[in-house]
């Protein structure tokens, strides 16, 4: 029996399928230069178009300072973005916005915008699903889909910058803490960091970009040679192999001591302190023993520990510890000489919940919070895409 909403090829239109136009940001600079030259447009026109894209223009028609004829030619050749927003959810009285995007091919990914007084941060996805499969993580629960292309990562940032610009805000920070393991998709992630930090594009300083990894050691080492001053975050969650093998299964290949040595190699080379993430799981990694082991592992290192209260995920055996227990753990680390912060509730809800809008959307059959048309009658297509994205994955 076919999947809900899957089209039967024998009954589909006889017309040839329309070739999908490339998204503008998927085309190399050299190819764009050639295209503009072939269409008798001065190079500054390309810069103008890119500036509109960077400001989040939804169509070529909005690019008012581009001649009408060129806009029509651009529209015939390219799409402004390859991402289709299909669900949106606000939290924290509107300070947090999660958007679910459908990618070419039907997979879906989430991006989360968090607004603070002095900055606006985007939590971005690098893969549809994640092959690492940590047992406490919503993303790790559904089957791996695919790597995102650099333009698909950049397009999440562009769309978020546009959302914020409409409110008079600027996208200032990007954290790769959405769906996926960025270092399994290393080349596209690094490419996207270079693009996002390009002053002709979004111009976000690499210093304000955080790459969070579960610990792919060769890629941590490779990062040193990129000479990109990004912040490295390492999802530690346990300081001994026996426990980390379970919580972060990639540890079986890349053990925790070697990982910390590689991460500190980056700290030494870049002069930037490494942020170690520790999701607090009650009775699992918040004991005195854990605090003692973590203190011993990181003492004297250019490091910072970020304690993340566990954000509940259905069908997992884990629970968040009480506030008191989190504070006790924090104090034990401070006493051991570490720099420690506890991520605030909002951060927890937004950062750690990546993967959960996707899950909620799929469980609701794709009808909840449909983007732009809550409960509308034409929701079938988006519904089937989200559901088949899951079944295809």
Residue 285 near ligand SF4 by CB under 6 A: no
Q: Which of 110, 181, 277, 349 is catalytic?
A: 110
Cβ neighbours of 281 (radius 10 Å): 23
Residue pair 126/354 in contact (Cβ under 8 Å)? The answer is no
Out of 123, 130, 134, 354, pick the active-site residue. Answer: 354
Rg of the Cα atoms in the chain: 22
Binding of ligand SF4 at residue 190 (CB under 6 A)?
Answer: no
Residue 114 is given by DSSP the state E
Residue 334: phi, psi to the nearest 5? -60, -40
| One-character DSSP codes across 135-195 | TT-HHHHSPP-EEPPHHHHHHHHHHHHHHHHTTT----EEEE-SSS-GGGGHHHHHHHHHH
Interface with ligand SF4 includes 132 (CB under 6 A)?
A: yes
Torsions phi, psi for 315 (to 5 deg): 60, 30
Pairing, β 146-147 against β 173-176:
unpaired
Least Å distance, CB 139 to ligand SF4, is 4
Pick 135 or 229: Cβ nearer ligand SF4: 135
Interaction of residue 137 with ligand SAH, rule CB under 6 A: yes
Member of 130, 320, 353, 362 binding ligand SF4 (CB under 6 A): 130
How far is CA 367 from its chain centroid? 23
Contact residue for ligand SAH among 113, 157, 263, 279 (CB under 6 A): 279
Pairing of strands 209-213, 173-176: parallel
**Residue 213 in the binding site for ligand SAH (CB under 6 A):** yes
CA distance 95 to 106: 29
| Of residues 78 and 310, the one with the C-beta less far from ligand SAH | 310
Nearer to ligand SF4, 139 or 185 (CB): 139
* Best CA proximity match to 366, nearest among 388, 392, 391, 387: 387
Is residue 220 within the footprint of ligand SAH (CB under 6 A)?
Answer: no
Q: Which stretch binds ligand SAH (CB under 6 A): 46-54, 158-166, 176-184, 223-231?
A: 176-184
| 130 assigned to active site | no
What Cα–Cα distance (Å) separates residue 392 from each residue in 105, 106, 110, 129, 370?
Answer: 10, 8, 18, 12, 21
Residue 364: both structure tokens together: 């609701």
Question: Which partner in ligand SF4, ligand SAH, none is near 133 (CB below 5 to 8 A by kind)?
Answer: ligand SF4
CA pair distance 89, 368, nearest whole angstrom: 9
177 interface partner picked from ligand SAH, ligand SF4, none, CB below 5 to 8 A per type: ligand SAH
Query: Which of 177, 204, 260, 342 touches ligand SAH by CB under 6 A?
Result: 177
Q: Interacting stretch for ligand SAH, rule CB under 6 A, among 162-170, 191-199, 309-317, 333-341?
A: 309-317
Task: Out of 82, 197, 214, 270, point to the residue binding ligand SF4 (CB under 6 A).
Answer: 214
Site membership for ligand SF4, residue 139 (CB under 6 A): yes
The residue number with the shortest CB distance to ligand SAH is 352
SS3 content of the chain, % helix, strand, coil (to 5): 45, 15, 40
d(CA 284, CA 320): 10
**What is the C-alpha to C-alpha distance for residues 76 and 60, in angstroms, rounded to an integer?**
10
DSSP string computed for 247-258: HSGGGGTS-HHH
Nearer to ligand SAH, 222 or 379 (CB): 222
Interacting positions 231-260 with ligand SAH (CB under 6 A): 235
176 or 371: whose CB is closer to ligand SAH? Answer: 176
Choose, by CB under 6 A, the member of 87, 114, 134, 263 that binds ligand SF4.
Answer: 134
Q: 278 has which bridge partners?
A: 307
In the range 180-199, which residues lie near ligand SAH by CB under 6 A? 181
Residue in 73, 154, 181, 293 binding ligand SF4, rule: CB under 6 A: 181
Active site residue 110: yes
Contact footprint for ligand SF4 (CB under 6 A): 130, 132-134, 137, 139-140, 180-181, 214, 235
- Contact footprint for ligand SAH (CB under 6 A): 130, 136-137, 176-177, 181, 212-214, 235, 277, 279, 308, 310-311, 313, 352
Catalytic residue set:
110, 354
């Amino acid at each position: 029996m076919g999947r809900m909403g899957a089209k039967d090829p024998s009954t589909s239109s006889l017309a040839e399928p329309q070739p999908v136009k490339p998204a503008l940001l998927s085309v190399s600079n050299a190819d764009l230069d050639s295209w503009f030259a072939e269409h008798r447009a001065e190079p500054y026109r390309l810069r103008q178009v890119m500036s509109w894209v960077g400001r989040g223009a939804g169509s070529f028609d909005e690019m008012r300072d581009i001649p009408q004829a060129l806009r029509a030619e651009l529209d015939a050749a390219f799409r402004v973005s390859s991402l289709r927003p299909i669900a949106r959810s606000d939290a924290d009285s509107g300070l947090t916005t999660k958007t679910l995007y459908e990618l070419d091919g039907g997979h879906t990914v989430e991006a989360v915008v968090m607004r603070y007084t002095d900055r606006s941060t985007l939590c971005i996805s690098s893969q549809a699903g994640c092959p690492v499969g940590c047992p406490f993580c919503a993303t790790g629960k559904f089957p791996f889909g695919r790597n995102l292309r650099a333009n698909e990562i950049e397009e999440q940032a562009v769309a978020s910058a546009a959302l914020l610009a409409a409110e008079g805000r600027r996208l200032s920070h990007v954290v790769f803490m959405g769906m996926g393991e960025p270092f399994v998709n290393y080349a596209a992630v690094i490419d996207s960091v270079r693009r996002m930090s390009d002053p002709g594009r979004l111009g976000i300083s690499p210093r304000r970009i955080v790459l969070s990894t579960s610990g792919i050691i060769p890629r941590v080492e490779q990062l040193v040679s990129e000479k990109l001053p990004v912040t490295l975050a390492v999802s530690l969650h346990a300081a001994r192999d026996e426990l980390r093998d379970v919580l972060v299964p990639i540890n079986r290949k890349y053990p925790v001591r070697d990982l910390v040595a590689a991460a500190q190699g980056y700290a030494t080379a870049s002069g930037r302190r490494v942020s170690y993430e520790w999701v607090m799981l009650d009775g699992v990694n918040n004991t005195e023993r854990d605090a003692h082991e973590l203190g011993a592992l990181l003492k004297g290192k250019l490091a910072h520990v970020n304690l993340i209260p566990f954000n509940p995920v259905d069908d997992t055996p884990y629970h968040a510890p009480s506030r008191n227990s989190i504070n006790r753990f924090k104090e034990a680390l401070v006493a051991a000489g570490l720099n420690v912060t506890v991520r605030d509730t909002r951060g927890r809800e937004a950062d750690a919940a990546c993967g959960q809008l996707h899950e909620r959307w799929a469980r609701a059959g794709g009808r909840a919070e449909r983007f732009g048309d809550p409960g509308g009658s034409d929701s079938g297509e988006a519904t089937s895409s989200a559901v088949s994205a899951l079944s295809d994955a």
